Chain A
């Protein structure tokens, strides 16, 4: 390689004909050398070949060489690992001279290489290397300034690259550089950027508008991509701010200039919204006035809030309090624009600016002077200086003027037509002068004063303002009212979602003065003595919730979740719930509703399968199917499956909410608890359990001797404990519900058993944790084992079902009393619980409806749940064991359960309790099976009603630690039904899946507040498709 390099140098020296090839090989060798042999790089250094590159570049050698060279450098910088080498390459301004070299950017290829090169460099930026690029003395930062020139490049890739570059740059924590960025470039760059965002948003707005006119179904993919393009810049915008803030907060000495620095980029945020509002208002004014404005204005706002709100978290410096206000300022700066619109129909608008702007001033009295001060600087920078790069400190006073102007005008007359914007701008310009600074000082003073006297909102400097202040008191609720009004989501939850986002972000934004929040009663930290909360808001929230519980409620899950969050936050004070009883009652009502809804789907009333239009995305309200790929939480449910999923989730959300509000611990969820399960290496007392010896042959041929034991939920493989007689060490435990048992054809003594891992994601293939052949000593044992497993599975399923119905407060018990008599056996008895529910709800039971319900079984997973209860019974009765025999079987079984319960040492409950519980279990399980033994059942049920209460309140139904349960007696007495069950594997597996999904949902909704419980839902879908 050394020699090849030599060769290359000579060629480079000779002429330029072979340059391209040479450069290419040099690069390759260099990179190789960097990784393998440092002498290569030494040679590169010695020959000063980097300078050659620069020479070549300067020689106008044509695009091919340029492209090659850029590519080369790109590769070089990307691949060089040694910092010394990298530093060398960056040294002596070589790179900077390349950056500022005027390439032919009309050439796409070179453009691409160039931007890529810049990006690579920016990646290499850190606190050390930044000095290569940013020269403090000459105030030169070529990388940045060149990069941002391309911010509006038509090519999307270039824009993205520019964004990356800028973010990379902002990431570097170098004070002088950041100051340079703020001082010199922020204003032109951000205002430019923002201006283009504004244009984008106008476009977007038009799209939304046209979309509303046209049929929502006609959404093209192009359309969908639009928002993503357009929305990225605001995020881009907020990020640098986010990034720059921690830096600036780190250095106290810099704080004094900070407000101005900060306000500049921040204030430049507002133009998009101003433009946006402008665009949304003016075209629409001829049509329905306020129609579109919330549409387009709320989303960016709510999206902006979370971003900005992050920064104050990092630092609670008072300086930063201004930040949220700058983001709020569009509200205020809205007014000039509204006054702009040259429509005679101004009257609706004029009230609008007032209840938008004024409430805001009430939100932020201390900053009232600051926020208008911030709000307009970008306007000026846009209107006056898109190209003009004026010193940044000129902007604030100037905008101050304007804001003053606006404020004055606002204060002066409400219904007076405003001078148009140009005049306003000119006014600002005219007044811009030496006295600007004085004005600013006054403003600052007033700011200080204001912060001291929060009560008076606007004052002192401007009498006119204070004149308006009187009117504000009556008006300052208007904004909130408007916000609250949007929470009414009878039509859909389109705005509600955004408003909730906004409120949530506001309350979480530590930047906003707590006092203000107090005022609107949105505070995060409500003081102890002030145990009130915004009733209006809470009522709205509750209304949302109850909306959500309606079958066809158009409240998306995301909205509901947010509402829950907000509510919790509102009413929880130091874990003390201050919610008023009436609201609690409302909430409970909502929960009840959701229970009803869930039961409804549980029962599965045939739903008219109208395909609801779903929100294509958060922004656009067009159509969509699940195929659009929008997350379930952001859509409205489509079809029965999703409706059920939604109902389940709504239920869990509301349930957890109400539990939390009542400060009750979760007792029933998740249905399966980790700690109740047998784990590997547990040592169990197996004295009273039946074990079947077998040898387990795993897939890879290993063979071990084990004993098979069946538990409530699990099957386990144990080997005898060496120390204690009759005890065993669990070597494997698997959930019965995840188990598949098949016989082996040519060997009557063997069973194939597969146990799948509980699916963590719905789309993942089931992953078997055990896949083995169990070989028993003889045919009989094999069959016994098979039966036992099947039986155990049914048992587990029943337990789960039981718990679910307990969870839903399904009145299993009374149903037998009410419905037990006078109805045809099969159809009614199978649906007793539901029937009862139906009755209790409607007062009348319609048998035909019931039947129609039943006929539409196959379609809905909710019914799958119901089906899995019924299935065994159907099969058992179909396979013609007399009902009496099955009942006797059940009693026997019941006894055995009781026996095992009492015999298990770990059970602490008293025998009577046990008996009742197991009895109850039996009852719940069998009450709907056979109505033949009515007397006995009625008797039993009459005893059990109080027990049922207990079961619902206390977790007596949750699995007591019972390592083993003997099922032998029930097997013996009821072999036929078990057999018949095992013969229907598809149903079994299905129902088992359903179980798994049902208790996955609670699991997750517990763990992650239901945010990620897509899993459970999708499991239903899979299950459904299986069906």
Chain B
């Protein structure tokens, strides 16, 4: 049944093509890992609830974007309404790491006038043998930009939960402190429904439905 949530955060996942954005989200939202997946065309959408503290659940709406250059203009449209972002790179792909800066710049340019909280994610950490980007330099870069760094693996489900919940928690803290405000016309953060109303009306409809059938 539809769960009750305190806030709804909209996140965006960006990064070079083939770094594993879709797989990471799939792992997070559906709990599975597809060995083969087609490149994302345009954007895709996922959502999941996370419980950052007992009883405090937050709904995450996650936009999965295509990393390919030709969709860059499409994905730009999604920065604006996002409060958080996962900036992925492939630790086995040096180039994707080098592009992190560009991604960040692009996001910053298009998120105006709102702000966006990023976490740097080094993906495919299961392939440690093929690593081309050291943890140290990634850490350094993340610190330079003032964001977290985390290494994940969708295949082995390493740190996937953590990456999202950490980010969520960060945003939640900011919201609680009032540094991020819920604003009309901005869908990055929304406050949730009052639980009771939703629940009761759902029950009513449910029974109605049954009767009809």
Contacts and interface: CB of A to CB of B under 8 A. Distances in A.
A83 B73 contact: no
A446 to B, nearest CB: 41
A7 B45 contact: no
Nearest to A4: B205
Interface stretch (A124-132, A669-677, A792-800, A878-886): A124-132
Interface in A983-1001: none
B71 interface: yes
A93 B201 CA distance: 36
B209 A88 contact: no
B205 A87 contact: no
Given A3-B202, A6-B205, A128-B74, A90 B42 contact: yes
Interface stretch (A38-46, A59-67, A253-261): A38-46
A420 to B, nearest CB: 50
A131 B66 CA distance: 11
A181 B205 CA distance: 52
Interface in A1-50: 3, 6-7, 10-11, 14, 38-39, 42, 45-46, 48
Contacts of A88: 42-45
Contacts of A7: 205, 208-209
B136 interface: no
B34 interface: no
A45 B40 contact: no
A84 B42 contact: no
A83 B77 contact: yes
Nearest to A46: B47
A92 interface: yes
B209 A45 contact: no
Given A45-B61, A128-B73, A87 B42 contact: yes
B103 interface: no
A87 B40 contact: no
B213 to A, nearest CB: 7
A128 B72 CA distance: 8
Nearest to A42: B61
A6 B42 contact: no
B209 to A, nearest CB: 6
Given A7-B205, A7-B209, A87 B74 contact: yes
A92 B205 contact: no
Contacts of A90: 42
B77 A92 contact: no
B70 interface: yes
Nearest to A96: B41
Interface in A104-148: 127-129, 131-132, 135-136
Nearest to A17: B213
B81 interface: yes
Contact of B202 (A6, A39, A42): A6
Given A45-B45, A45-B61, A127 B73 contact: yes
A91 interface: yes
Contacts of B81: 84
Contacts of B61: 42, 45-46
Max count, chain A CB within 10 A of own CB: residue among B47, B66, B70: B70
Contacts of A92: 40-42, 44
B81 to A, nearest CB: 7
Given A38-B187, A84-B77, A131 B42 contact: yes
A84 B41 contact: no
B205 to A, nearest CB: 5
Contacts of A39: 190
A48 B201 CA distance: 23
Contacts of B47: 42, 45-46
B71 A131 contact: yes
A46 B40 CA distance: 17
A990 B66 CA distance: 74
Interface in B26-57: 38, 40-45, 47
Nearest to A127: B73
A87 B64 CA distance: 12
B205 A84 contact: no
Nearest to B213: A14
A124 to B, nearest CB: 12
Contacts of A42: 47, 61
B114 interface: no
A33 B81 CA distance: 17
A90 B38 CA distance: 16
Interface in B58-86: 61, 66, 70-71, 73-74, 77-78, 81
Nearest to A133: B41
A132 B205 contact: no
A45 B81 CA distance: 15
Interface string B190-213: 100000000001100100110001
A131 B209 contact: no
A131 B205 contact: no
Contacts of B43: 84, 87-88, 91
A48 B74 CA distance: 20
Contacts of A128: 73-74
A91 B202 CA distance: 31
A448 B61 CA distance: 63
Nearest to B198: A2
A136 B44 contact: no
Contacts of B45: 45-46, 48, 88
Max chain A CB contacts within 10 Å: which of B2, B43, B66?
B43
Interface string B172-202: 0000000000000001001000000000011
A135 B41 CA distance: 9
A91 B44 contact: yes
Contacts of B71: 131
Contact of B42 (A11, A45, A91): A91
Listed residue (B41, B43, B71, B202) with the most chain A CB atoms within 10 angstroms of its CB: B41
Contacts of A45: 45, 47, 61
Contacts of B44: 88, 91-92
Interface in B92-127: none
Interface string A53-96: 00000000000000000000000000000011001101111000
Given A45-B61, A136-B70, A91 B78 contact: no
B198 to A, nearest CB: 8
Nearest to A47: B47
Contacts of B202: 3, 6
Contacts of A84: 43, 77-78, 81
Nearest to A10: B209
A87 B70 contact: no
Nearest to B69: A131
Interface in A459-489: none
A92 B65 CA distance: 10
Contacts of A38: 187
A321 to B, nearest CB: 34
Contact of A87 (B77, B190, B213): B77
A170 to B, nearest CB: 19
A128 B77 CA distance: 11
A671 B35 CA distance: 85
B12 to A, nearest CB: 11
A129 B202 CA distance: 38
23 contacts: A3-B202, A3-B205, A6-B2, A38-B187, A45-B47, A45-B61, A46-B45, A84-B78, A87-B42, A87-B74, A87-B77, A88-B42, A88-B45, A91-B42, A91-B43, A93-B41, A131-B41, A131-B42, A131-B74, A132-B41, A132-B42, A132-B74, A136-B70
Q: Which 6 A-B pairs have the closest CB atoms?
A: A91-B42, A128-B73, A45-B45, A131-B70, A46-B47, A91-B43
Interface of A: 3, 6-7, 10-11, 14, 38-39, 42, 45-46, 48, 83-84, 87-88, 90-93, 127-129, 131-132, 135-136
Given A45-B47, A46-B45, A131-B42, 8 more contacts: A7-B209, A14-B213, A42-B61, A87-B74, A91-B43, A92-B40, A92-B41, A93-B38
Interface of B: 2, 38, 40-45, 47, 61, 66, 70-71, 73-74, 77-78, 81, 187, 190, 201-202, 205, 208-209, 213
